Structure 1
Amino acid sequence: MPKVAILTMDSLEDFFAYDHMLDAPMRQAGWQTEHISWRDTTVDWDRFDVVIVRSPWDYQDDADAFLTCLSNIEQSEAILENPYSLMEWNVAKTYLRDLNKQGVPIVPTLWFEHYEHDMLERGLAKFKVDTLIVKPVVSANADHTYRIPSAQIDDYKGALQDVFAERALMIQPFLPSVLSPGEFSLFYFDHQYSHAILKTPKTDDFRVQEEHGGRLASVEPTAQMYAVAKQTLAALPQRALYARVDLIETDQGLAVMEVELIEPSLYFNMDDNSAQRFTDVFVQKYAHIK
């Protein structure tokens, strides 16, 4: 029986993870699954036919070590999904600039290699808003993400200087549409649409992740959502086995917040057939492996 490793982290105790929902359909399709932490340096990756990166949600704490793990898998006998070069490109959110150069609409962004004393003032002037979002260029789970009202920018400068003294960051306008209607996520398996959800934050928060109290609802995308997602996938440097396209409403129309190609939750729990659809696409792609 061919084997597939599901790449995860040491413990998912504090997270909402649904990768186990792949085990049964994979087994029924003739594939044996094994969930392995990316931090385990003793793994012989040659034991596996394919390694699927799924929930290493602490990788941003040591991105270099994580990329080393992926590189080791890439150099083994196993096939890495998504491809190494695609995930390497996706680690830093500067990939959004690449997409924008190809016409993909993104949330307006200022980019900085490190903290600058006047960056918040520049952001307020550039975007003509009264609230900013500041976050690392390499991040996950909304770690070190700040919502900063204009009247309080001086209160945040000390913390920002500490966090971003030697760390690249990005500044964006806070979009009220994050609160209502929320953030839309469309899921694609081998660039085939699977399902979509709407994520909204809990009261008095702006983070939509479940770990921060975010709420989820299944939705049917609009024609414009399908169009922007299709445009985004077409602009990727390589084809992806799995992709999550996060969209937000702006004054100029829909914009891409992120394209998750490394470790997005695929929210199999939100669509009864999604884990089976993923398995079907995977099995078709690797039908040559027996």
Structure 2
Amino acid sequence: MKRCAFLSMASLEKFVCYDELLYAPLQRYDWHAETVDWRDNSIDWNQFDAVIIRSCWDYQNDPAQFLSVLATIERSSAKLANSLEVVRWNLSKIYLRDLKTKGIPIVPTEWSYGLDVAKLSLLFAHWQTPEIIIKPVISACADDTFRLTPTTLTQQAATLAILFQERDCMAQPFIPAIVTEGEYSLFFFGDEYSHTILKTPKFGDFRVQEEHGGQLQSVEPEALLLELSRAALAAIPEPTLYARVDWVRTDNGFALMELELIEPSLYFNMDAASAERFVQVFLRTR
């Protein structure tokens, strides 16, 4: 029986994870899957035939170490998915600039090193928006993500300046559809479409993750969302085992929020056939 490691974090106690739904379908094809801590330096990666990056939802705290571990795995006999090259490209949200140059619509974004409150304050008028979002370019789980008005920006200026000092960060206009309609996530395994969910935040919040009270529902995507998602996937440097493409509706049409290629939840719980689809693509890439 072949062995597959799901790369995770030491404890998922505070998170919602559905990767265990892959265990049974993998078992049917003589694959034994187990979840391992990516920070465990005692692991001999050669004992695995494959390593799939899954719920490493703390990698943003030490991205250099995370990349080092992935490089060690790639040097082993195990096959890493998604690949180190893909992870390096996707690690920083600056990849959104690459996609924009290739014609993929993204949410308007300003990039900076550190945080200049005076410059940020100009963005409200520039984007004609009452609220903006500030976050690091390397982030996950909505960590260090702030929804700000001109007033709250001024009130929190000192704290934000310290938090973002010597960090690359990004600012975007807050898109109202996040709370009025939700965020669409389309899932692809290899180049095959699998399923779509709509994520909406709890009342009074803007974060759509379940850990923050977000709600999920299965939906059929508009044809345009499928078309845009395939265009985004075509811009990835290498083929991938899995991808999640997140969109929000704006006044100018759909805009890409993120192209998740490292550790996105794939919500196998929302589509009964999705785990089997994933496994079938995994087996073909072996």
* Shorter-chain TM-score tier: over 0.9
Q: Distance in 2 between matches of 1:191 and 1:125?
A: 40
1:40 aligns with: 40
Partner AA of 1:285 in structure 2 = T
Shift of 1:122: 2.7
Q: Distance in 2 between matches of 1:139 and 1:127?
A: 23
Q: Distance in 1 between matches of 2:251 and 2:103?
A: 17
Q: Distance in 2 between matches of 1:213 and 1:5?
A: 29
2:186 aligns with: 186
Shift of 1:152: 2.5
2:167 aligns with: 167
Partner AA of 1:172 in structure 2 = Q
Partner AA of 1:88 in structure 2 = R
Partner AA of 1:99 in structure 2 = L
Shift of 1:65: 0.8
1:152 aligns with: 152
What is the aligned-residue RMSD (CA, Å)?
0.8
1:271 aligns with: 271
1:204 aligns with: 204
Q: In 2, are the aligned partners of 1:148 and 1:156 still within 8 Å (CA)?
A: no
Worse overlay, 261-270 or 60-69: 60-69
1:116 aligns with: 116
How many residues were matched structurally? Answer: 286
Partner AA of 2:278 in structure 1 = F
Q: Distance in 1 between matches of 2:149 and 2:201?
A: 18
What 5-or-longer segments of structure 1 have no aligned partner? none
Shift of 1:123: 1.8
Q: Distance in 2 between matches of 1:239 and 1:142?
A: 27
1:248 aligns with: 248
Residue pairs, 1:1-290, within 5 angstroms: 1-286=1-286
Q: Deviations over 1:207-231 (max 9, x none)?
A: 0000000000000000110111011
Secondary structure at the counterpart of residue 106 of structure 1: coil
Q: In 1, are the aligned partners of 2:4 and 2:51 still within 8 Å (CA)?
A: yes
Q: Distance in 2 between matches of 1:13 and 1:228?
A: 35
Shift of 1:172: 0.2
- Give percent identity, aligned residues only: 49
Partner AA of 1:214 in structure 2 = G
Q: In 1, are the aligned partners of 2:18 and 2:265 still within 8 Å (CA)?
A: yes
Shift of 1:180: 1.6
Q: Distance in 2 between matches of 1:126 and 1:51?
A: 45
Secondary structure at the counterpart of residue 272 of structure 1: coil
Q: Deviations over 1:49-98 (max 9, x none)?
A: 11000001011111111111111101111111001010111010000000
**Taking structure 2 as the reference length, what is the TM-score of the superposition?**
0.98
Q: Deviations over 1:7-35 (max 9, x none)?
A: 00000010000001100000101111121
What stretches of structure 1 move > 3 A for 4+ residues in a row? Answer: none
Q: In 2, are the aligned partners of 1:9 and 1:55 still within 8 Å (CA)?
A: yes
Q: Distance in 1 between matches of 2:217 and 2:159?
A: 34
Q: Distance in 2 between matches of 1:274 and 1:117?
A: 45
**Taking structure 1 as the reference length, what is the TM-score of the superposition?**
0.97
Q: Distance in 2 between matches of 1:151 and 1:162?
A: 18
Q: Distance in 2 between matches of 1:119 and 1:4?
A: 48
Q: Distance in 1 between matches of 2:131 and 2:94?
A: 22
